[in-house]
Amino acid sequence: MGSAKLIWANNLRASATIAVIVLHVASTISSLYPAISKSYFLTSIFIDSSVRWAVPVFIMLSGSFALENYDNRLRSFFAKMFHRIIVPFLFWSVVYLFFFSWKELTDPAKSMGQLLAFTGNQFLSGTASHLWFVYVIVSMYLVFPFLSKWTKVATEKEYIYFFVLWLFFLLIDPYLSDYDINFSYNFFTGFIGYIVLGNYLLKTTRKFNQLLLLSLFLTGFLYTAIRTYFISIHGNETNELFMDNLSLNVCVMSFCVYLICRQRNYTLHSTWQRAVDIICKYSYGIYLSHLLILNIFLRLGLKFDFLHPIISIPLITVACLVISCGLIMGMKKIPVLKKLAG
């Protein structure tokens, strides 16, 4: 694909990067409920709900390009994955390990065996909450050499068949968890559906009505926000059940956002486009580092609800984005840190 055709993908990746930061800022505020007012809570929930498509879209982009461009060179593919994804992930995992667990790591009462066990458990579960995404991506990449064979020959009917099964089992899975059943449907659940969906939407020539997509997005967004608000109010604590990345409403939002960008190359002013391209270029590093910046804000005493969330969320998001991007750009200029930045 020529670079002109990838403008929409760059814009989408940059938008998803910003959306992830918005999500974490907004969810930090909403998690304070009931210690914050219902006005603050409602605003943060609505903003949070509006960007829940971010992580699924990241995964769909992997299905669109990493999967589609797999060229059967197994060694080269995994070498790139190791250097581009795993090495930065391991570096930032160590950073977060020391940032969040310094007291445990320097506890003189702990034996070497206990420290090793603690460190191992931290790496297995993720040394920071947002790193779960990297575990998912790596697990998906392990399947790419097999999955790419199918996506290269699959007909549209076979894609549709897969999506029907995926959505059906996503819908019924919560209701089956309490039963002991032997029927296995793991092949059609989880994030693999987003990988296949991104691959299909990149290649399909089918056109979707933009107004319909916008309407579906708004429906999914409002459903997510309203259900989350009322279930949280009812339980007197934040409940993100309906914000799950694999809930049908978030699937619909992600599908719509991807297609709205895919079907129309939105033209930005050259200055804004340069900024978007920079965010896109350093998106992985920004993703890995942004939670560190947000937690430094918190440790410095900056409360995210220092103003009404409709003002504080954009302000903190921009500050975090600028600092994270600047950090990664700076690391990229230092030879020893270049490959670790992300």
Q: Which is nearest to 162 in space by CA: 190, 202, 182, 136?
A: 190
**Can you give the pLDDT at residue 305?**
92
Q: Tell whether 111 is covered by a domain.
A: yes
Rounded-to-10 torsion of CA 176, 179, 181, 183: 0
Distance from chain centroid for Cα 305: 24
**Can you give the pLDDT at residue 73?**
92
**Can you give the pLDDT at residue 3?**
47
Q: Tell whether 179 is covered by a domain.
A: yes
Q: Could you give the count of Cα atoms lying within 13 Å of 100 in the half-sphere of its Cβ? A: 19
Provide the number of structural domains found in the chain: 1
**Can you give the pLDDT at residue 5?**
56
Chunk the chain into consecutive blocks of 10 residues (it has 342) and report each block's average pLDDT, rounded to whole numbers.
69 97 98 96 98 98 93 92 96 97 90 92 94 96 95 95 92 77 76 96 92 97 97 96 94 97 82 93 97 97 94 98 98 95 92
Q: Tell whether 316 is covered by a domain.
A: no
Q: Tell whether 315 is covered by a domain.
A: no
Which residue is listed with tokens 């992300």?
342
Q: Tell whether 296 is covered by a domain.
A: no
Q: Tell whether 19 is covered by a domain.
A: yes
Owning domain of residue 156:
3-267
Q: Tell whether 333 is covered by a domain.
A: no
Q: Tell whether 286 is covered by a domain.
A: no
**Can you give the pLDDT at residue 2?**
42
